Structure 1
Amino acid sequence: MNAPTPTGTPSEATEATEAAGGCPVRHGSTLTRLYGPQASEDPHGIYERLRHQHGPVAPVLLEGDVPAWLVLGYRENRRVLENPRQFTRDSRIWRDWKEGRVEDSSPLMQMVGWRPDCVSQEGEPHRRLRGAVTDNLQAVAGRGIRRHVTRFANKQIDAFAAEGSADLVGQYAEYLPMLVLTRLFGLAEGEGRRLAHSCAQVIKGGEEAVAHNDLIMKILAELAERKRAEPGSDFTTGLLHHQAGLDDGEILSHLRLVLIAAHTTTSNLLARVLQSVLTHPSHMAGLVSGQLNISAVVEEVMWNTPPLAVCPGRFATADLELGGQQVKAGDLLVLGLAAGNLDPEIRPDTTTTLHGNKAHLAFSGGSHECPGQGVGQAIIETAVDVLLHRLHALRLATAPDELTSTASTWESRLDRLPVEFTPQVV
């Protein structure tokens, strides 16, 4: 099909689908882009326009003008997540890649391309690899993770405590999870900031994503080699010696997977939880008095601003109908976790309190549900607790509506969280 080069902006919706089957036009002129300057400013506005125009499943363009289906409905997201026979994580059936329309060098491949890890597998291969990851995450979580968080949180706070002001994104949430992960992985603490930056660039996409991914893999390959010679009580050593017998490629792929996923989602979620605490006086008062548990605030944030707004990569295994759209075998689907959580079919009133309701999509679902929830929860709860106990008279240093965010295809991150507090002598 010869169609014009895409010229649409995120505010334009597509009315065009392939006459033969309904999958997104390969080079349609008005398909909505989920990337670019406008997409970075108002992703929720894009989701709502797409929902209004197309219903719970909408055709979109990803980076490089690659066509995909964006799943917006809560029930439709659940169907995709919980039916791996219809919607697989194995991208080797992705038609656009198989037919050469997506190059292996595309930044998009860093998020949806096949790797020898549990995310790319189904069935028994998935169970074998995920078992190794889960076992070792549980092991490191039980080895004083809160102690490590407390140490690094205090170290971060010491750097700005005497100033009486700080940016809790750039000076706290952005790097704290990675500092903890360096300890859990057996990495040198000095690698933390470089790895945090590279992980963020991989998620962000763009021309630099491939180079940053290569840097991450180089550091992790050196780590694995070192841990073969000098084993320790860390996540890396646990993977190397797990009874599942992971080969070298599987070891490196899982180190990469856990490092990127754990850091980027936890740092984003920590920033959003702190934002919620500082912009809702009742939250701050409840936490300080002990009448509110931080887990309740985390749940609320998981519903309203999940750390991963769009989850990459399911592929239809056969022609089927989803949300009124005709999806073809080999089509790429991306899961709108943020949009699904706000689906008016299940949340007609988004102001309703959701304490105790853990049915959100923030951890995805099904057999590929996030295995590191306990580690992330421990980091966030401890980080918030340490901050509130260390900084007296902590308050937001700007109006709540002046806080801004920047989105990529996959996430929306808080830009800054300026605060003031009583200066301390460290």
Structure 2
Amino acid sequence: MRRLYGPEADTDLAAVYEKLRAEHGSVAPALIHDDVRVWAVLGHGENLHMVRTTSQYNRDARNWTALKNGTVKLTHPLAPVFGWQPICSMAEGAEHLRLRGAVTHALEIIDHRSLRRAINKACQEIINRFSERGTCDVVSDFAEHLPMMVMLDIFGASEAYSERFVQAARDMIKGTETAIASNEYIMGILMEATARRRADPEDDFISRLIAAPAALSDDEVGQHLRLVLIAAYEATANLIANVLRTVLTDPRFRAQLNGGQMTVPEAVEQSLWDEPPFSAMVAYYAKVDTELGGQHIRAGDALIFGIAPGNVDPAVRPDPTEHMQGNRSHLAFGGGPHECPGQDIGRAIADIGVDAFLMRLPDAELSVAEGELRWRSTILSQHLVSLPVSFTPRAQQDVVTKPSMVPPPRADWHVSSGSPKAASASAAAPEAAAPSASSVPTAPVAAPEVRLGAWQRLLRWWRGY
């Protein structure tokens, strides 16, 4: 029986799924950490049937035979993920409606114009940290920070944002020895924020969740904050990194984006098909004896919601390299009653984040060979370890303005605190001294060609400077 963890899976989990599909079909027996047996659901249709058929399957781990008989203990590395919690994604019936209604209520009140402003501001703040340097790591400097900064701002807990919080969020879902400690650290902060807003409500997500008609307890509020935060953070960080990696390494993809044949939102949607941020979800549990994909599933069995293998199921996608523009039937946001309620927020962060990065740093290029890129894989997700790029250093921008492309400093200028200043007189002859800002010639704007994308027009404008 094949393992969904360990050296082979860490190297290429997608290949493991395909071997399972070849050996067993659309539903296959597999092993997770500590060699615990589960069913890996690989078919697109089988996955949708499982998540939609609440009479046969749910997400309540208390139904798991292996947990009830002691085969799996709450010290299992994936316990923070599958362990029962008072959250909507693990409830059903009236309790599910009560808890999910509270989350939906809090999300629906979010003003999308304010959200876009918050995302733009976060993009500016983060890119300003490295724009003058001329180098950055897209993963650790940008993609891992943007969704966390935005989500904590939405929560009304922006003071919690820190490098430690970001890394704890990543560690929590890896199934490492420190995952439980990372979970406790995050929950401690979220519970403090909950108690603070219970005593002093404001116009933010936490306060709205507390004030929802469902009358959630502090524990229920804290658990749902973690659910929304980690789901949005991990998914969006991976999504941003995946899209920008594709732009930087795939000339055909980049040409379509530059030439206007593909918009940034379409590029994001394509990535949700090809490299879903969560490759799988642990777990669903059979409520009754049933059959799925030709396999006999016993009541109490655990099943992996196979997002990545379902997206490349030959039954729905015979050619896994084809572009799926306009098709949102991927499994990236789940399905059925537990479909992600905040997917539009994740899409907005990714769309604006990718666009802002390309707008601010249009000449960014991968600074290592593509073959040197490395991924870290878990059962739940696969993400880039690093994506180093280089670009022409650029001035910082006002964080309250939309990201825009500004010309790089001239060869005889240097950038300091976001403003061009004359180079030292000892480095140039008097007649070569930098001109005053008012005498800098205006760059000619090239006339746009047919189907020329906005990003490409700006890039040509910069090259003509």
TM-score (norm 2): 0.82
Whether the aligned pair in 2 keeps the contact of 1:90 and 1:121 (CA below 8 Å) is yes
**Letter in structure 2 aligned against 1:392:** P
Of the three residues 121, 129, 149, the one matched with 2:119 is: 149
Matched, 1:167 2:153: no
Matched, 1:180 2:150: yes
Of the three residues 10, 27, 33, the one matched with 1:63 is: 33
- Counterpart of 2:39 in 1: which secondary structure? strand
Matched, 1:399 2:365: no
**Letter in structure 1 aligned against 2:51:** L
**Letter in structure 2 aligned against 1:352:** E
Aligned-partner Cα distance in 1 for 2:190–2:361: 36
Aligned to 2:231: 261
Using the aligned pairs only, state the percent identity: 44
Whether the aligned pair in 2 keeps the contact of 1:311 and 1:364 (CA below 8 Å) is no
Aligned-partner Cα distance in 1 for 2:203–2:37: 44
Aligned to 1:27: none
Aligned to 1:347: 317
**Letter in structure 1 aligned against 2:41:** V
Aligned-partner Cα distance in 1 for 2:12–2:133: 34
**Letter in structure 1 aligned against 2:233:** H
Aligned-partner Cα distance in 2 for 1:128–1:164: 50
Matched, 1:48 2:18: yes
Matched, 1:74 2:18: no
Aligned-partner Cα distance in 1 for 2:358–2:364: 7
Deviations 1:361-407 (A, max 9, x none): 11111110111111101111111111111113122223334322110
Deviations 1:83-128 (A, max 9, x none): 0111111121111111122112222221111111101101121111
Aligned to 1:312: 282
Aligned-partner Cα distance in 1 for 2:351–2:152: 19
Listed as ranges, the gaps of 5+ residues in structure 2 are: 395-414, 419-465
Aligned-partner Cα distance in 1 for 2:350–2:253: 15
Whether the aligned pair in 2 keeps the contact of 1:288 and 1:388 (CA below 8 Å) is no
Matched, 1:420 2:381: no
- Counterpart of 1:233 in 2: which secondary structure? coil
Aligned-partner Cα distance in 1 for 2:310–2:186: 32
Aligned-partner Cα distance in 2 for 1:395–1:205: 33
Aligned-partner Cα distance in 2 for 1:249–1:149: 29
Aligned-partner Cα distance in 1 for 2:378–2:111: 30
Greater Cα offset, 356-365 or 161-170: 161-170
Deviations 1:317-370 (A, max 9, x none): 111111121110000001111001111122111122210011111111111011
- Counterpart of 2:22 in 1: which secondary structure? helix
Greater Cα offset, 279-288 or 66-75: 279-288
- Counterpart of 2:110 in 1: which secondary structure? helix
**Letter in structure 1 aligned against 2:384:** L
Whether the aligned pair in 1 keeps the contact of 2:285 and 2:303 (CA below 8 Å) is yes
Q: Residues 275-314 of structure 1: matches in 2 within 5 Å?
A: 275-288=245-258, 290-314=260-284
Aligned to 1:20: none
Deviations 1:220-268 (A, max 9, x none): 1110111122211111111111111111221111011111111111111
**Letter in structure 1 aligned against 2:55:** R
Q: C-alpha displacement at 1:192, in angstroms?
A: 3.5
Q: C-alpha displacement at 1:193, in angstroms?
A: 2.4
TM-score (norm 1): 0.89
**Letter in structure 2 aligned against 1:124:** A
Aligned-partner Cα distance in 2 for 1:138–1:381: 20
Matched, 1:38 2:8: yes
Aligned to 1:383: 353
Greater Cα offset, 110-119 or 283-292: 283-292
Whether the aligned pair in 2 keeps the contact of 1:276 and 1:297 (CA below 8 Å) is no
Aligned-partner Cα distance in 1 for 2:93–2:249: 44
Q: C-alpha displacement at 1:290, in angstroms?
A: 4.9
Aligned length: 396
Whether the aligned pair in 2 keeps the contact of 1:318 and 1:330 (CA below 8 Å) is yes
Q: C-alpha displacement at 1:287, in angstroms?
A: 4.0
- Counterpart of 2:221 in 1: which secondary structure? helix
Matched, 1:367 2:337: yes
Greater Cα offset, 44-53 or 289-298: 289-298
Greater Cα offset, 356-365 or 147-156: 147-156
Whether the aligned pair in 1 keeps the contact of 2:147 and 2:349 (CA below 8 Å) is yes
Q: Residues 18-33 of structure 1: matches in 2 within 5 Å?
A: 32-33=2-3
Aligned-partner Cα distance in 1 for 2:142–2:88: 31
Bigger CA radius of gyration:
2
Of the three residues 181, 191, 207, the one matched with 1:211 is: 181
Listed as ranges, the gaps of 5+ residues in structure 1 are: 1-13, 15-31
Aligned-partner Cα distance in 2 for 1:228–1:137: 18
- Counterpart of 1:144 in 2: which secondary structure? helix
Aligned-partner Cα distance in 2 for 1:49–1:191: 41
Aligned to 2:217: 247
Aligned-partner Cα distance in 1 for 2:292–2:139: 39
Aligned-partner Cα distance in 2 for 1:141–1:396: 36
Aligned to 1:19: none
Whether the aligned pair in 2 keeps the contact of 1:137 and 1:375 (CA below 8 Å) is no
Aligned to 1:220: 190
Whether the aligned pair in 2 keeps the contact of 1:310 and 1:410 (CA below 8 Å) is yes
Aligned to 2:207: 237
Greater Cα offset, 278-287 or 222-231: 278-287
**Letter in structure 2 aligned against 1:341:** N
- Counterpart of 1:334 in 2: which secondary structure? strand
Q: C-alpha displacement at 1:289, in angstroms?
A: 5.5
